[in-house]
Each structure stands twice: as structure tokens, then as C-alpha cells.
Structure 1
Amino acid sequence: MTLAEILLGLVTAQRAGELVFSRLNTKRLKQRGAFEVSAQHYPLMVALHAAWLISLWLFGHDRPLNIFALVAYLGLQILRVWVMRTLGQRWTTRIIVLPGAPLVSAGPYRYLSHPNYAVVAGEIVVLPLVLGLPFLALVFTMLNAAMLFIRIRAENRALDAARTARARS
């Protein structure tokens, strides 16, 4: 087994675990009265991330690792954990609105409106570079940018609606 295969195995396991965590949190939030917004683009986002990971396995499984890019990727994982810990049970891979709940403004949300998307955008660039695959970094960065354009607009509309609803009550 190569180092690249070990790394990709860890990333795959991490992403699978996050999907389980997201489903659990989504279920809990919905039990508390939350609802999903803009679900129609979610399958495209899942397909994009799956294609990214599959392409890394196909083209990068036997490649040497770029240590500098790997250190950057590990730094992104620290930021990912910070985001997830800050959101706690409100972290999901979907856009879920919990009526009446205050917006999160702690942790990385003090500095960025959408730190999770910044981390994911970084990962989409950096992990292919760890494996010496700059073309995949470029292609998936462009695809992810298009997806984030749709997703961030949808999430911002949901956040604005939640703010307005709270202001009225």
C-alpha cells in the first residue's frame, strides 16, 4: 500500500464519517422544527465531491506525496475541526434552518461568513497538489466555484430570512 493510498483511504473514511454525522445532525435538527432549504442542488454537490475523490483515487493512488502541500492540507483539517466543533449539532452538509435559533458568530464565524466553504475550497485545491495533480486541482476548483456560487446564494437567502423572522418576533 502506498502513502497516497493511505492518505486517500483516510480522506475517504473522513468524508464517509462526516456524511453519517451530517445525517444524524439533520435528523436531530428536523426533530426540533428545522427545515431544509434549496435541496435541489444537493445531489449535484454530492456528485461533484464524489467525482473529485474518485478522480484522486484513479490518478493519484500511486503518486509520491508533496510534503509542503500535505502540511497545508493538514492545516485545513485543523480549520475543518474548528468549524465543526463551533457548529456542533448544527453542522450538516445540507442547508438546514432552525427557526428562532441565533446565527453562529463564534469561532471562525467571527472572521468569515462561510468558513466551512473556504476550508472545502482549500481542500479541493490542495489535496490534488499533495498528489502532484495540478490539472485536477484546477478543474475541480472551477466546478466547485460554480457550485458554491449557487449554494452560498441559497444559504445567504435562508440566513437573511431567518434574521428577518427573528427581528419580527
Structure 2
Amino acid sequence: MLVFFALFSFVLAQRVVELAIARRNARRMTAKGAVEVGHAHYRYLVALHVCFFAALMTEVLVLGRKPPQWWMAPAAAFLIAQGLRYWCMTSLGHFWNTRIFVLPGANAIRRGPYRFFRHPNYLAVVTELLCIPLLFGAWITAAVISIVNLYLLSVRIQAEEAALAEATDYGEVFRSSP
């Protein structure tokens, strides 16, 4: 149980720090003329992440879930996702945010993991929301949160790509990508 509370606290603290970074980056971006898009779906993403923590805590503590024998697999995937998340954040620099900010005329980011595919940060989030519950045997949380998250990300990615294609060179850069 100590491991659960330690990881739970770590991930929760991590999210709080990331929100502070996102707020700072939002101020920098808007000062440069960036505009925010995708307001409508953002509140649902926030609600999903709040529900994630509540569901995980409930399923582990109330339903008494225990780590499976193969706990090392989701633990390893979680650690890889952490590395990917921070690689994304450092690659995007002040462009990284939990919201969608678009700076008209900016060039698409093609460094770090963005050299290989378009949305590596979302891959990290999908992996974390699946693997953290699986690490502790919280099957219901893993399934429900992952399904809702995939739907919300499909909405978010459409909004993000449309805004980037309209205001930046994103469409040109990624049209020629494999």
C-alpha cells in the first residue's frame, strides 16, 4: 500500500507542477500573440484526469485491488512514458502546454520525438492512464478511463491539427511525413 500512495502522490504532484509550467508557458505564448483553441473540450479532459485519480484511489482502496504478478510490465511502460513525456516537454519548450495555444506564423516543431511522429505527448498520456491502474490491478479504471481518454484525444487532435494547419506551416511540414 505504501508503494501505491507513493506513486499516487508522485503523479499527482507531477500534474500540479505541469499545470504551473503550462500556465507560465501560456503567459509567454499569449505575450507573443498566440491564441488558444479547443476551449470546449478542455474542461472534459480536466474532468477525466480528476476522475482518473478518484477512480484509481477508490478501486485500489475500496475494492482492494492488488498488483498482478506481471506488475513489472506496466511499471516499465510507465517509466518509458515518463521519459517520453519529458522529452516532449523539453523538445517543445515554451510551446508545451496542457491547453492548445497556436502562434500564427510559427514553424512546426520537428525535433525530439516529433521527428518520428506527430503526437508523442499524447502517447505518453495514453500509456500512463492505462499503465498506472494496471500496475495496481485496477482493471475498471484502466478500461473506462482509457476509452474515454481515447475519445477525448480524438477530438483534441482534430482541433489541434486544424488550428496548427491554419496558422502555421504544420500542414506543409507533416504532409510530406511518412
TM-score normalised over the length of structure 1: 0.92
Structure 1: runs of 5+ lacking an equivalent: none
Could you tell me which of 136, 148, 151 is aligned with 1:146? Answer: 151
TM-score normalised over the length of structure 2: 0.87
TM-fit CA distance, 1:118? 1.0
Q: Partner of 2:19 in structure 1?
A: 19
**CA offsets per residue over residues 46-105 of structure 1, 9 Å max, x none?**
001110112112222575442331121111101111000100111000010011211101
Q: Which amino acid aligns with 2:12?
A: T
Structure 2: runs of 5+ lacking an equivalent: 173-178
SS in 1 for 2:106: coil
Could you tell me which of 131, 135, 140 is aligned with 1:135? Answer: 140
Sequence identity percentage: 39
TM-fit CA distance, 1:164? 6.2
* Within-5 A mapping of 1:12-161: 12-60=12-60, 64-65=66-67, 66-161=71-166
1: CA distance, partners of 2:138 / 2:58: 11
Shift of the 2–109 alpha-carbon distance from structure 1 to 2, 3 Å rule, reads same
Shift of the 144–165 alpha-carbon distance from structure 1 to 2, 3 Å rule, reads closer
2: CA distance, partners of 1:133 / 1:86: 32
Shift of the 96–145 alpha-carbon distance from structure 1 to 2, 3 Å rule, reads same
* 1:6 counterpart = 2:15: no
**Segments of 4+ in structure 1 off by > 3 A?**
61-65, 163-167
SS in 2 for 1:143: helix
SS in 2 for 1:28: helix
RMSD (Å), alpha carbons: 1.9
2: CA distance, partners of 1:111 / 1:85: 16
CA contact (8 A) 1:4 1:64 kept: no
CA contact (8 A) 2:74 2:132 kept: yes
2: CA distance, partners of 1:50 / 1:106: 31
1: CA distance, partners of 2:113 / 2:170: 25
Q: Partner of 2:176 in structure 1?
A: none
1: CA distance, partners of 2:34 / 2:82: 28
CA contact (8 A) 1:3 1:64 kept: no
2: CA distance, partners of 1:87 / 1:60: 35
CA contact (8 A) 2:103 2:168 kept: no
2: CA distance, partners of 1:128 / 1:165: 35
TM-fit CA distance, 1:165? 10
TM-fit CA distance, 1:142? 0.7
Aligned residue pair count: 167
2: CA distance, partners of 1:138 / 1:94: 25
